[in-house]
Amino acid sequence: MVTSHILGYPRIGERRELKIALETFWRGEVNEAYVREVGAHLRAANWARQTRAGLGFVSAGDFAFYDQMLNQTVLLGCPPRRFGFDPRHLSLREYFMLARGNADQPALEMTKWFDTNYHYLVPELSEATRFDGGPEWYFDEVREALGQGTPVKPVLIGPLTFLRLAKSTRRGWSRLRVLDALTGAYAAILERLKAMDVEWVQIDEPALCLDLEPAWLDAGASAYASLSARAPKLLLATYFGSTEDYLDRIARLPLHGIHLDLVRAPSQLEKWRAQLPRGWVLSAGVIDGRNIWRTDLRRALATLQPLHDSIRECLWIAPSCSLLHVPVSLAGERRLDPEVRPWLAFADEKLDEIRILAAALDRGESAVQDALEASDAARRARRSSVRAINAKVRSRMAKLVPALFDRTAPFTERIGKQRARLALPLLPTTTIGSFPQTATVRRTRADFRRGAIGHLQYLEAMRAEIRRAIERQDALGLDVLVHGEAERNDMVEFFGEQLWGFALTQNGWVQSYGSRCVKPPIIYGDVFRPEAMTVDLARYAQSLTAKPVKGMLTGPVTLLQWSFARDDQPRAETALQIALAIRDEVQELEKAGISIIQIDEPALREGLPLKKRDWAAYLDWAVRAFRLAASVAADETQIHTHMCYAEFSDILPAITAMDADVLTIETSRSNRALLERFGAFEYPNEIGPGVYDIHSPRVPQTEALIRLIERAGEVIPLQRLWVNPDCGLKTRDWPETEAALRNMVAAARHLRARVLPAETDCSGV
């Protein structure tokens, strides 16, 4: 019999039950016991789904109230000592403080999980770090799963990946110095699982798909040599890339099996077939855990059947990675485009695909003939759909020439014209784009979607919100304003609703971090902009004030990365199609009198391939897509872009090549380290380092903000420095937002007055 399993399952719930529980707890409306009860219900439901699908194991330990890396930090007992928490008696409230900060301490740094849009919390390690274990949560969940009656496969983030993704809190101190202590903590965890009669443990090591230096490979070998003696059987799970570079070393580890991502890296299979150690399980990840397209079951069987013939019961089948990255179920999608719907598979449908593949291998294809024919029919329908091809888009793509990717003049010439037009003071203050999405705003949008109010009533309500946002910003004294994005449910979904070639879901929620969930659009065809998307409201906002109001757009790479992209053409081609649509919007905003246009690209870094040898090709088309979107702007029009929650220091040349006039970045959680790298690189254009963390409920004080801006001025000349929060403010409330921005403006004015005499005209500085 073929063993089927998954590496993890979505934890938010089909109706975002986890999100609702967390946010009511944070508001003080429910207690800790209620949140734990919701978590237990979600875990039980997830295990029931896996059992119904006939999986050989259910996965335990993949649930987290906020983040799996934070869970691993808690399990190991190594939360930062700066919080003063007792690791063994950590409360759920303290757990959330690690993620969100408190009055005394900023939250753990947050960044992207490899090349996904999921954010993890970065462990902090130092010579003082101890791994003495935490509360019993993880083991309690394994006991819960064991009580369900189906074999259980607990999941752990492996020691190599945990250490690689952690950060040192002291410059020059190597994280490898805690390897022995860390390995001892893992050994203790595995020993306890073995005592609980757990047969298999999945230990996730996606770091083995990165570029690893010899010292890190040696560290991994050392760790696993120490773990094997007291552990259950270990399935080493790799995903998001290929392990070919390290195959020989991995195959010598004292393990019992390897999981391979055969969607992202199918070429590694043949080498593993030839070198698979005797007795090892090979878990074949043939179903895409990152995207929502229905699996070509016959193609998957063509991969699996030779493996099954040669290694028989040592073949396991699975998705390529955890299903955390896809929505829960298609069952509730009653309004999804009926032509597109049969092409899709969410988490529950992927469980069924695993069941079909296992049955075909065990009992022959005739046993699942109807399912195979349905798969074939869906694939034929998608391939022949006339809606996927747009002749106008194809014609424009064929006419792209190098001149379309460049601004008319270099930055050194543009900036003088922009300063003359905008007349901004030294250290101009602004925000990233969104303002609090109040219950009233959300209710109005919901009423409009279900037809309870008409278009005119909805438009008037949105204009009223924009007017209030402009008035508040004027009162606060901000220099460059935004309209607040009251009409936007999400920075990607909003544009997906208006662009042809995109399909939208009702309940296709995916966790981004904590309680933050997004509904990625589905790109199924050529992308075309039929009409202006943001111009009317931008024009209206600008009419309310003499100060510049930014036009707000999402960039082509982010629209691609944060959607479920089509897999039937190169991603570079889709990115350029989107760029043409955004280019048209930039041109119309400019014609409407908008003098500053922000094209956000927070996903640029996230799209990097895991191996550096593949970076150049990606960065080439990603930068070209941004430049195609922005280059239509006149010299006097200032182009901004925003990036956040990722490590950008290793792609600074590419960021410079984007040629945005102003770049705003997140730096508050990284202790200014990222800004220092921009300074050392001598980034040539203007830059706005985020001066406070918008994901924390803490209101920054003016004195602290003054010190942060002063530190920024030590690495970036004040004449090129902007002052802003580190991200959008949609998740905050208005009193907190206004208090923080009031302090931010006061800090900028204080430094302005110190640097310049009161009578000096700061415009053009």
**What's CA 224's distance to the chain center, in Å?**
30
Look at residues 646, 641, 639 and name the one whose alpha carbon lies nearest to residue 670: 646
Cβ atoms within 10 A of the Cβ of 460, count? 13
| pLDDT of 666 higher than 90 | no
695 is catalytic: yes
Tell me how far apart the terminal alpha carbons of the chain are, to the nearest angstrom: 73
Q: What is the pLDDT of residue 670?
A: 56
Going by pLDDT thresholds of 50, 70 and 90, the confidence category of residue 758 is very low
- From the candidates 455, 483, 695, 750, give the one annotated as an active-site residue: 695
* Percentage of the chain lying above the pLDDT 70 cut: 98
- Tell me the CATH architecture of domain 395-402+409-755: Alpha-Beta Barrel (3.20)
What is the C-alpha separation between 261 and 15, in angstroms, rounded?
29
What is the C-alpha separation between 563 and 558, in angstroms, rounded?
8
Residue 384 half-sphere exposure toward CB, CA atoms < 13 A: 6
Q: What is the pLDDT of residue 680?
A: 81
| pLDDT of 171 higher than 90 | no
What is the C-alpha separation between 62 and 512, in angstroms, rounded?
15
Structure tokens at 732: 């905050």
* CATH code given to domain 3-325+341-384: 3.20.20.210
Domain ranges of the chain: 3-325+341-384, 395-402+409-755
Beta-bridge partners for 124: 167
Cβ atoms within 10 A of the Cβ of 30, count? 17
Averaged pLDDT for residues 373-392: 94
Beta-bridge partners for 638: 596
Positions of E strands within 228-270: 233-237, 257-261
Q: What is the mean pLDDT of the chain?
A: 94
State the alpha helices, DSSP H only, in 682-719: 702-715
Q: What is the pLDDT of residue 394?
A: 97
Answer yes or no: same fold for 3-325+341-384 and 395-402+409-755: yes
Q: What is the pLDDT of residue 2?
A: 94
Whether the CB-CB separation of 241 and 209 falls below 8 Å is answered with yes
Distances (CA, A) of 90 to 68, 97, 133, 227: 16, 11, 11, 26
Q: What is the pLDDT of residue 681?
A: 84
* Percentage of the chain lying above the pLDDT 90 cut: 87
Q: What is the pLDDT of residue 669?
A: 56
| pLDDT of 450 higher than 90 | no
Look at residues 574, 586, 678, 675 and name the one whose alpha carbon lies nearest to residue 622: 574
Q: Biggest alpha carbon distance in the chain? A: 86
Q: What is the pLDDT of residue 645?
A: 63
